[in-house]
Amino acid sequence: MEGKIALEEHYAIEDTLMDSAGYLPEHTWAELSARVLDIEGRRIEEMDRNGVELMILSLNAPAVQAIPDRRRANEVARKSNDVLAEWVERHPGRFRGFAALPLQDVDMACAEMQRCVNDLGFVGALVNGFSQIDEPDTAYYYDLPQFRPFWQVMAELEVPFYLHPRNPLPSMAQIYDGHPWLMGPTWAFGQETAVHALRLMACGLFDEHPDLQIVLGHMGEGLPFSIWRCDNRNAWTEAPPAYPAKRTFSEYLQENFYITTSGNFRTQALINAMLEVGADRILFSADWPFENIDHAAIWFDSCTISEADRRKIGRLNSLELFGIEL
């Protein structure tokens, strides 16, 4: 399929480059670092070879979220957003931008989000999970009351928020002790992000802002498969949910979340996601440079779904969600 749009596609600046080290075998670092720093060379060549017309670019992980100092986090976020804006301006037919945000300080994050949308023309934000604030061994999740003013700004701007994974902090990762291979995309990324998404659903955020839209990568971080059980939970007891939100997890997933195919090129998983949230809420993505664009594109272009759904997932849903005109 030609004209695909991909939206979990990352870059790094020199300040954040080393955040991408350690996720892949050491012998791949020369290749990975070259991929993540490149914007206008091989990236565009890979897009052309694989029918990707447009990428929405985002900073690598955990980057800003792992900088406890509020002013430094804001400095790196603004720097990376300014760099990205220059690339988008040079290639408006190929790139759009997601804002990096210093959620260590809600006022700074709100100001930067408004700047990125109103001045730089970005189409949303991508944030790498929880933020460490003031002290390195802290993890603040965005269902907490202190973040409500930020969500108000997101709702007013009417742009989506991409909740991207990061590993749990070592002090909070005892379940992985002795099994480091479970960290990262093997398991910890998905578990961490799925729990964060459930917290957002349960806290009442979407009752307050019913039109707010969150994007999850990697075919929904396992939630399409598990969401029914989250709601059912020993249904014979007829006990009401104990969380503050007014509706079921399934309803929020179907009305306030979009799912991308990034890094999960599996037809069975795609069909499960389509059955749970519908083809209108799924978006093509690759997860470059950590996954290959050709692996994503070859799979997606030939997977056993209807051509109408392929067109929606590959292009049309993103055009509508992000208000993109090409």
> Does residue 238 surpass a pLDDT of 90?
no
> Does residue 221 surpass a pLDDT of 90?
yes
Tell me the pLDDT band of 234, cut-offs 50, 70 and 90. confident
Closest residue by Cα to residue 285 from 226, 205, 232, 218: 218
Which bin fits 320, alpha (ψ -120 to 50), beta or left (φ > 0)?
Answer: alpha
Q: For position 209, what pLDDT does the model report?
A: 98
> Does residue 78 surpass a pLDDT of 90?
yes
Order of all β-strands in the sheet with 4-11:
4-11, 52-59, 95-99, 124-128, 161-164, 214-216, 257-260, 282-283
Q: How many domains does the chain have?
A: 1
Parent domain of 141: 4-322
User: How many residues are given for the chain?
Assistant: 326
> Does residue 92 surpass a pLDDT of 90?
yes
Q: For position 181, what pLDDT does the model report?
A: 95
> Does residue 199 surpass a pLDDT of 90?
yes
Average pLDDT of the chain to the nearest whole number: 97
Closest residue by Cα to residue 14 from 58, 60, 46: 60
Q: What is the pLDDT of residues 240-277, one digit of tens each?
A: 889 999 999 999 999 999 999 999 999 999 999 999 99
Contacts of 93 (CB under 8 A, 6+ apart): 53, 54, 326
Q: What is the pLDDT of residues 151-161, one digit of tens each?
A: 999 999 999 99
DSSP 8-state symbol, 144? S
CATH code of the domain covering residue 125:
3.20.20.140
d(Cα 163, Cα 196) in Å, to the nearest integer? Answer: 9
Give 120: exposed, middle or buried? Use CB within 10 Å, 0-12, 13-18, 19+.
middle
Whether residue 200 contacts residue 143, with contact meaning beta carbons closer than 8 Å, is answered with yes
Active site residues: 287
> Does residue 226 surpass a pLDDT of 90?
yes
Q: For position 24, what pLDDT does the model report?
A: 87
Region 40-65: what's the mean pLDDT?
97
pTM higher than 0.85, yes or no? Answer: yes
